[in-house]
Structure 1
């Protein structure tokens, strides 16, 4: 039956057909009869007759004001602007769109940019890289890309990190109904002044995690040398790396200080020459992330609890996770080469 036909907008009908609908209505024919005779849905017949009664015309009326749709030129101009300057604000885009005589509503501009596959995201923090840094990173990546898997399994990666009692401020979602928002199970505890923090030194290889040490007081070259003396060789022994193994550290001044270098030389430790500003090449950064998330899921309320938590969670970190992180080394180097030494996603 005609009333079950797909809906058809009045603007899709020809002017002649709209006039015929109105003519039949004037002659006294009902909506159902008109619908059947002209093969037009009854809802469309009713819409056209209603419009004729209100405006005394079946023609398409002009829209009031400026059309909301951006022109192709306007859309391209916006995309060029955000491509040239990714940190341009929406207010600045509104002004430039208005100056071109284009629609300047924020939603219109955002939608146009989204159509090009660009979205507003929080900018990630990355080390500042000079041309010298990028050249060194590129040279390092090309030189080590073809290192054997056996060699990579001999690398002992190390780093320092700070872990805070309430250092993870990311929003977390809970399943709850509207009236239990303040129940303890549905809230994240907070403390004033963030509750304190602990500095750690740790190391790992493809075989698993090595020693994890709390750094008490300000880190100095002398303290770093003592950490190496008490933990580095024992970690290599525990992980069965054999001798010689390859030690990775970044270029922090405490690591490259004379007393640190002398200890490494005296103990015949092969040090991997490391390009500056390259945390994306060190897989331990992802291991630190795993540790911090595991610790903060337990919500330690003081430094004593924090220390117990990080020790327990470090011991739980899976060996296969360590192996996978070391195995990702090739992809990290390939990403640096593809970026011509610039920052990567890692």
Structure 2
């Protein structure tokens, strides 16, 4: 069995639309067999059994909440992040969160951006203070050897 990538979300089972579930429930109430409904609606018999059973139990076609922890960022938040990134491609994570109005951990933000296929830009070499200090020390050592 192939393994999923670490950042790829777990695939969910397909959900049928409320209209389709209602049609299936009504056809069942009218006395149509599960096999006939299956052929007419192009849905497996096992799915029809579940839909009819749930409809009888709760007498409505409402969706139950999906299992698992809800997403931290909504689809709308992700779209806002992508829009801000297009306007300012060289901004920091803190600026991105502030401009998009999102409150989440930086690690969460990075994970969502990676799921969208966006990777952070590496800063150019020599921009950090550590790099500048290292270059200064190397320059001083080079001067001391010449004497």
Q: TM-score, normalised by structure 1?
A: 0.26
Q: Higher strand share goes to which structure?
A: 1
Q: TM-score, normalised by structure 2?
A: 0.50
Q: Between Structure 1 and Structure 2, whose CA radius of gyration is higher? A: 1
